[in-house]
C-alpha cells in the first residue's frame, strides 16, 4: 500500500504512535501534517520508551525519511530539545525535514494560551498550554511567523518585532500580564533558526517525489477526530484538522494519492482536558481502567478521564475520515473488569434515539448512552499474537465492535510494545 493515513478516532491517545511505528517498518517516509507539540506519541521498542511530540514516529528506523508538513505548528525550542534527546539516545535525526511554510510557536503564543485559559475561568478548554490555539489564530489572521522567516535573520527580526509589539500590548493591556523582552526573544529565536536551517526542505515536493518513485508513505495523524475544529466537540477541541482530509491540506498532496486510511481506537474511551464525554465512568471501574491502562497524559501528565467504548463516536469517525480499517488498542486493559459495556446509541429525554453523533453540545448534553452488555474476560492476553489465540470472549468483543462501527478491525493491540499487535 503506497500511501496510508493513520488517524485517531476518539479524543486522542489511542496509540497512534505505536501503530505508526509498526507500519513504518514497511514504509520509507513518515509525514506529520497538523498539530504541534500538544501531541504525545509513545513508541515502545525492546522495553525502551520514546515519547515523541513533534518528531514523527518513524524516527526509530534509520533509513526512514521523517517529514513535518506545512500544516504543523512548530515550537523551535521544544523541538530542538526533542532532537537533542533523540541524538543522546543514539537515534539519528539526519533524515528529518521541516516544511518552510510551517508556522512557528512564539513565546507570546504560550503566554496567551495560559492567559486566555485563565480568563475563561471555569469555562476553560483544558488546553495543553503549548500555544497551539494562539499560533493557529495568527496563521489565519495572516500575521504568523513561518519557518522560512525563522531561518532568515533579517526577515525574522522585522516580523517578530512587528507582531511582538502587538502581542505585548494584548498581554499587558487586555490580560494584565508580563510583556516579553523582544530583543531577547529575537536573539534567542534567531539562534534556533540557525540550528534548524539544515532541516528545512519543501515537504510537499519530497512527498510527491517519494510517491512518484513508488515509495510507501505513512501520514501520521496527531490529536483525533473528536478534537477536530469542525467535526469534534467544539469548542472543546484543538485548532487544527486531525481528520484524514487534513493530511492533504497539511502536507500539500492531492487526495488521489491516498490508498488506505486506518483509524486507531482504544478498546474503551479516554479524554484529557474538558468537554463532553457521554460514556465517562466516575466509579471504581473507571479508576481501574486508568490505573491498569496507565491513563496519564503523555504531554502534560494529567490523569485521563475514562469510560466505555462509544460506538457512536467511532462510527462518526468511520464516516468523516472514510476509514478502510480500525486498529483497536489496549484490549489487554479490559481483562478482569467483569461484564463489559459498549455504547450503541444515544437516547434523548423524549425517548427518541440518535444513531449519529450530534453537532451541538446542548443536544449532546441531553443524551444518555444506550449500553449493550458484553461478556468480559479474565485471561492475560498480552502474549497472544493471532486473533485465534485470543479467548472467545475477546474475539466476540472485537467482532461486535466491528459490526457496530461498520468498519473492519484490521489490528488489535494487546500491549504497548511494537510486537504486541495482532494483525488480521
Chosen from Mg ion, ligand GDP, ligand IMO, none, partner binding at 273 (C-beta under 5 to 8 Å by type): ligand IMO
**Region binding ligand IMO by CB under 6 A among candidate stretches 74-82, 172-180, 235-243, 355-363:** 235-243
**Number of residues located near ligand IMO, criterion CB under 6 A:** 25
Residue 9 engages ligand IMO in binding (rule: CB under 6 A): no
Q: What are the cell numbers at 99?
A: 516544511
The smaller minimum CB distance to ligand GDP, of residues 16 and 159, is found at 16
Smallest distance from ligand GDP to CB 385, Å? 13
Letters for 126-155 (x = contact with ligand IMO by CB under 6 A, - = none) are: xxx-x-xx----------------------
CA–CA separation, 241 vs 226, rounded Å? 10
**8 near ligand IMO (CB under 6 A):** yes
Report which residue's Cβ sits closest to ligand GDP: 413
Q: Does 13 qualify as catalytic in the annotation?
A: yes
Range 141-200, binding ligand GDP (CB under 6 A): none
By the rule CB under 6 A, 272 interacts with ligand IMO: yes
Give CA–CA dist 207/46, Å, rounded.
30
Note the residues at the interface with Mg ion (CB under 5 A). Answer: 13, 40, 298
Catalytic site includes residue 53: no
Q: Does 273 bind ligand IMO (CB under 6 A)?
A: yes
Residues catalogued as catalytic: 13, 41
- Name the site residues for ligand IMO (rule: CB under 6 A): 8, 11-13, 38-41, 125-128, 130, 132-133, 222-224, 227, 236, 238-239, 272-273, 298
Amino acid at each position: 500500500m503506497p500511501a496510508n493515513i493513520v488517524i485517531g478516532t476518539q479524543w486522542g491517545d489511542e496509540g497512534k504512535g505505536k501503530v505508526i511505528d509498526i507500519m513504518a517498518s514497511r514504509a520509507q517516509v513518515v509525514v506529520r501534517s497538523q498539530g504541534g507539540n500538544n501531541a504525545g506519541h509513545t513508541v515502545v521498542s525492546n522495553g525502551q520508551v520514546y515519547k515523541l511530540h513533534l518528531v514523527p514516529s518513524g524516527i526509530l528506523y534509520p533509513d526512514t525519511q521523517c517529514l513535518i508538513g506545512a500544516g504543523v505548528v512548530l515550537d523551535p525550542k521544544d523541538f530542538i530539545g526533542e532532537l537533542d534527546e533523540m541524538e543522546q539516545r543514539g537515534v539519528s535525526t539526519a533524515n528529518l525535514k521541516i516544511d518552510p511554510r510551517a508556522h512557528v510557536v512564539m513565546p507570546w503564543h504560550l503566554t496567551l494560551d495560559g492567559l486566555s485559559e485563565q480568563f475563561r475561568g471555569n469555562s476553560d478548554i483544558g488546553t495543553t498550554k503549548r500555544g497551539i490555539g494562539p499560533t493557529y489564530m495568527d496563521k489565519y489572521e495572516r500575521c504568523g511567523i513561518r519557518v522560512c522567516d525563522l531561518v532568515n535573520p533579517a526577515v525574522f527580526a522585522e516580523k517578530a518585532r512587528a507582531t511582538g509589539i502587538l502581542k505585548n500590548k494584548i498581554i499587558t493591556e487586555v490580560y494584565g500580564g508580563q510583556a516579553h523582552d523582544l530583543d531577547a526573544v529575537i536573539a534567542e529565536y534567531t539562534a534556533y533558526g540557525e540550528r534548524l536551517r539544515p532541516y528545512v526542505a519543501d515537504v510537499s515536493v519530497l512527498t510527491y517525489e517519494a510517491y512518484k518513485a513508488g515509495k510507501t508513505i505513512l501520514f501520521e495523524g496527531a490529536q483525533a477526530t473528536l478534537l477536530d475544529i469542525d467535526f469534534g466537540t467544539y469548542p472543546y477541541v484543538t485548532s487544527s484538522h486531525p481528520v484524514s482530509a487534513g493530511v492533504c491540506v497539511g502536507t500539500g498532496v492531492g487526495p488521489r494519492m491516498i490508498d488506505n486510511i486506518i483509524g486507531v481506537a482504544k478498546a474503551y474511551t479516554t479524554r484529557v482536558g474538558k468537554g463532553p464525554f457521554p460514556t465517562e465512568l466516575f466509579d471504581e471501574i473507571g479508576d481501574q481502567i486508568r490505573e491498569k491502562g496507565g491513563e496519564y497524559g503523555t504531554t502534560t501528565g494529567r490523569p485521563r478521564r475514562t469510560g466505555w467504548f462509544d460506538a457512536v463516536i467511532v462510527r462518526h469517525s468511520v464516516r468523516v475520515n472514510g476509514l478502510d480499517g480500525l486498529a483497536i488498542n489496549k484490549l489487554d486493559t479490559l481483562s478482569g473488569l467483569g461484564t463489559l459495556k459498549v455504547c450503541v446509541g444515544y437516547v434523548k429525554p423524549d425517548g427518541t434515539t440518535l444513531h449519529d453523533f450530534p453537532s451541538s453540545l446542548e443536544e449532546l448534553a441531553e443524551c444518555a448512552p444506550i449500553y449493550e452488555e458484553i461478556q468480559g474476560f479474565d485471561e492475560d492476553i498480552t502474549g497472544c499474537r493471532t486473533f485465534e489465540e485470543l479467548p472467545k470472549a475477546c474475539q466476540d468483543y472485537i467482532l461486535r465492535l466491528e459490526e457496530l462501527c461498520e468498519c473492519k478491525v484490521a489490528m488489535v493491540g494487546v500491549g504497548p510494545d511494537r510486537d504486541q499487535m495482532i494483525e488480521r
